[in-house]
Structure 1
Amino acid sequence: MADETFSLMRPALPKAVKPGQLSVIVTYLEMTAPPTREPVARPKGDLALVRANPPSWSFYRYLYDTVGEPWLWHERRRLPRKELERSIEDPRVEVWVLYVNGTPAGYAEIDRRDAATDLAYFGLIPDFIGLKLGPWLLDTAIRLAWQGRTRKLVVNTCSFDHPKALPLYQSMGFVPVRHVVREIPDPRIGGPLPKSAGSHIPIVE
């Protein structure tokens, strides 16, 4: 259980940061029982949620790169191809792809390899943000994750992510259990991301 004295509010970022570095706050959340509320209403339109079983490396990288670039997702851009393939081809890892009018619009990745089931990645392709798809996709992913022998569902989000990400997770029943402040090398400086990525996050050179 979460410590009752734990603050649900994300702490403030440090004001000073070294050149070439970024400060980030990672918030870890958990859910210890399946949702009992009514499912989020399915948005209107031609929607399909299909498991890529498994996705090809190139299609997975397209999803990860396109969904994640605005929010500075960089870890799996750095991951060697063989290592990434071992992960996404594991039958305990589920990649659920949302299609709108036949076009990929986002995805959710459910990782069942540890004791706690992890909603490892979740997001929309930028063209589809603001169309009320996120809450339905997240709610559906949560319900899929609770199928089987799941005893606890975990997720994390960070201060690079969309400002509505943390409140959305909380509205769906996730409870913050830990905040961690980190300083990392900016992945846009000599790293795997272009300088145009994460335009809401200043580059300090």
Structure 2
Amino acid sequence: MAQDRFSLNPSIIPSSAIPMAVPPGCLSVIVTYLEMTTPPTHAPLPRPAGDVALVRSNPPTASFYRYLYDTVGEPWLWHERRRMPMPELGVIVTDSRVEVWVLYVHGTPAGYAEIDRREADTDLAYFGLIPDFIGLGLGPWLLDTAIRLAWQGGTKRLLVNTCTFDHPKALPLYQSMGFVPIRHVTREILDPRVQGWLPRTAGPHIPIIE
């Protein structure tokens, strides 16, 4: 999931979605929700050069999924599933309606996309690259391919969300693929680094308020 700078202009974002002052140990985050109501009409992006493969883990073990989630998400303060008990996480990721597509580069996991079909609308629940593979041109192809996979199977509407903790190119990338922002929400959360859920070195672009 990844992760933003569509309309972070106070004249465009509703007043309810402006970053707010927070007490020590907390963070303010703007979450942008986006939708796509029709499948992409542009030609598929070409597969990156080299030994690149996208393989569905069918199903992944909870421990392998946790490795992907933790490694992809640590720079962006992903923490919800890091805190989730393994049995509970396993129920989600082994559900036949949840698809975990793993990107491999020369046999090494490089990122993943998670497509969740458990609700009426299909959700691109998580998407991202392992830090070693950021900046190699893999992200657009992975996202484009994940979107096309998500539209298979009778999808009527595809959802995704990103936030101001995520990579600054995440939101523009989603929009370039056809997603349209539908709302912004500001939330106050406990800083997962202060709580000990993530190392204090995680998310160095996000100051710790103490």
**Structure 2 match to 1:128:** 133
SS at match of 2:81: helix
Is residue 2:23 matched to residue 1:18? yes
Q: Structure 2 regions of 5+ residues with no counterpart?
A: 1-5, 11-17
How many angstroms does 1:97 deviate by?
0.2
Selected match of 1:9 from 7, 10, 26: 7
What's 1:27 paired with?
32
Distance 1:15 1:88 in 2: 34
Number of the residue aligned with 1:110: 115
**What's the % identity of the aligned pairs?**
76
Could you tell me how far 1:10 is from its partner in structure 2? Answer: 3.0
The verdict on how the C-alpha distance between 1:151 and 1:15 changes in structure 2, with shifts beyond 3 A counting, is closer
Question: Following TM superposition, by how much is the alpha carbon of 1:57 offset from its aligned partner in structure 2, in angstroms?
Answer: 1.0
**Residues 88-138 of structure 1: per-residue CA shift (max 9 Å, x gap):** 010000000000000000000000000000000000000000000000000
Matched, 1:50 2:55: yes
Aligned residues: 198
Q: 2:19, 2:30 within 8 Å by CA — same for their partners in 1?
A: no
Cα deviation, residue 43, structure 1: 0.8
Residues 147-190 of structure 1 show CA distances to partners (whole Å, capped at 9, x for unaligned) of 01100000000000000000000000000000000110000012
Partner SS state of residue 37, structure 1: coil
TM-score relative to the length of structure 1: 0.94
Instruction: Supply the AA of the counterpart residue of 1:76.
Output: R
The answer as to whether partners of 1:10 and 1:179 remain within 8 angstroms in 2 is no
Q: TM-score normalised to the size of structure 2?
A: 0.92
Offset at residue 9 of structure 1 (A): 1.1
Amino acid at match of 1:203: I
Q: CA deviation at 1:83?
A: 1.0
User: RMSD over aligned Cα, in angstroms?
Assistant: 1.1
Residue 11 of structure 1, CA deviation: 4.9
Q: What amino acid maps onto 1:120 in structure 2? A: A
TM-aligned CA deviation for residue 17 of structure 1: 2.4
Structure 1 unpaired stretches of 5+: 1-7
Per the alignment, in what secondary structure is the counterpart of residue 204 of structure 1? coil
Deviation at 1:191, TM superposition (A): 2.9
